[in-house]
Structure 1
């Protein structure tokens, strides 16, 4: 049996919905937060409140987005800090303020 995270990564790479949400909503919002010096904590679920597109994504797409973002945060620990999980089992992140993200 395939591990769920492998299946979700495959969905993330093949799904136009997930690719659009990640590249057009999540990354620009992170750049905006980073460039403003904002150190607020956030989860992928918080993006549902920001974008109507995100609020209409299926749960499997949101889980795939979470895995993509986790991979990104692990790849760039000098930019993103993971604070563990909240009571809803969502990973909580913040952007390290001394780092500026390219637009």
Structure 2
């Protein structure tokens, strides 16, 4: 994953691949109705904003477009996890991904 910086609102979507237990691409379109990206900050607070879309081809995953506010409020390790919902209260989570956020040289 690329580097992120305090205050940054990435201009490009981030695409998270979804894998099954064997680490093979997992088909999620048709299985889940929605996706929500959860970001745990270094202070323990959880942030969720922006738009998450289920992504089918060329690989399976979730495309996340950042909202108008940066989730990166402090340097440190952030953890990103995706909640995939089937509806009627059924949902699954992806494995969490740890990323480091740095202070930009200004």
Short-chain TM bin? 0.3 to 0.5
Tell me the TM-score normalized by structure 1. Answer: 0.34
Whichever structure has more helix as a proportion of its residues is: 1
Bigger Cα Rg: 2
The structure with the largest strand share of the pair is: 2
